[in-house]
Amino acid sequence: MAMKYTIPHEVVYYECDVNGTMTLSSMVAVAIKASEEQSDSLNRGTDFVHQFGLTWIVTDYQLFIQRLPKVGEKVLVTTQAIEYNKYFCYRNFWISTEAGEELVRIETIFVLMNIDTRKMSSVPEEIIAPYESEKTKKIKRFPKIETIESGEKLPFRVRFYDIDGNQHVNNAVYFNWMLDVLGYDFLTRYAPSYLHIRFDKEVEYGNEIDSHFEIIEESGEISTHHEIKIGEEVYCEANAKWQVRN
C-alpha cells in the first residue's frame, strides 16, 4: 500500500471566488503543493528528478466534488501515489474536513518528461521506489472527453504571470480560461460537481488561445464541454458537470 502524505490547509480569501468557495485552480495548486512536500520528504524533490534530465508533468485531472471548501475553513489535503506502469503514474488527492468528511477527490495521471527533448520518459525505479506505489502492467484509462459540437469562444492572451518556473503556462491558468467564459450568472448559479481536464500540448508565452465552450442541459442535468485551441489545434480539453449552488 502506497504511503499517504497529509498537509493541513486553511482556505484563504484569495483562493476563493465571489461565491466564497475555493476555486478549482486553487484546489489543484494546493494539491500539487502536498505532492511536492511528499516528494521533498522522500528526497525525491525537483532537484533529484532534474538529475535524470526529467521533470514531472500532469496530463489529466479528474475532480469529484461533494462540496467546495469555504473561505476560512480548515481542511486536510492528503495525497497518495497509488500505482504506476512503465510510463504512467496514478496519484490521488483528497481534500477533507478536520472531522474526516471527504469534500473533494482528485485523480491524476503524472508522466515524466525529458527536459531537452520534451518527450515522455519511462519511469526510473530510483525516482518512484520511495513512494511504495504498486507496480502494474495495465494502463488505466480515464474517461473519453466529449468534444464540442457547436459552441462559442473567447480569446485569451498568455500573460507573464501565467507562466511558471518551467516556462510554461501553469496548469491552474487553464482552469480559469475554461471556466471564465461561462460568465458571472452561470458561475454564481451553479457549482461544479465533476471536472475532467486533459492537457494535450503546452501553451507558451506569446500565444493567444481561444477558449471554446458548450453548455448542455439534458433532463435537468447541466454539463459543459471545453477546448483550449490555437487555430484548429486542441491544446487542452475538459468536461464538467454542475449543480445548483446551495
**Residues at the site binding its own copies, with contacts judged by CB under 8 A:** 12-14, 16-18, 20, 23, 25, 29, 32-33, 36, 71, 159-161, 163-165, 167, 170, 172, 176, 179-180, 182-184, 187, 205-206
The C-alpha cell at 197 is 481536464
Q: Is 168 in contact with 55 (CB distance < 8 Å)?
A: no
C-alpha span between 44 and 33 (Å, rounded): 14
Q: Is 97 in contact with 103 (CB distance < 8 Å)?
A: yes
Q: Which is it for the CA torsion 67, 69, 75, 76, positive or negative?
A: positive
CB 85 to its own copies: min, Å: 27
Based on CB atoms, which residue is closest to its own copies, 29 or 115? 29
Based on CB atoms, which residue is closest to its own copies, 70 or 85? 70
Number of Cβ within a 10 Å radius of residue 244: 9
Q: Is 106 in contact with 93 (CB distance < 8 Å)?
A: yes
Based on CB atoms, which residue is closest to its own copies, 23 or 133? 23
CB 125 to its own copies: min, Å: 26
Based on CB atoms, which residue is closest to its own copies, 172 or 234? 172
CB 157 to its own copies: min, Å: 8
Per the listing, cell 459552441 goes with 151
CB environment 136-153: b (16+ within 10 A), e (fewer): eeeeeeeeebeebeebeb
CB 110 to its own copies: min, Å: 16
Based on CB atoms, which residue is closest to its own copies, 36 or 214? 36
Based on CB atoms, which residue is closest to its own copies, 32 or 240? 32
CB 73 to its own copies: min, Å: 14
CB 171 to its own copies: min, Å: 10
C-alpha span between 208 and 228 (Å, rounded): 10
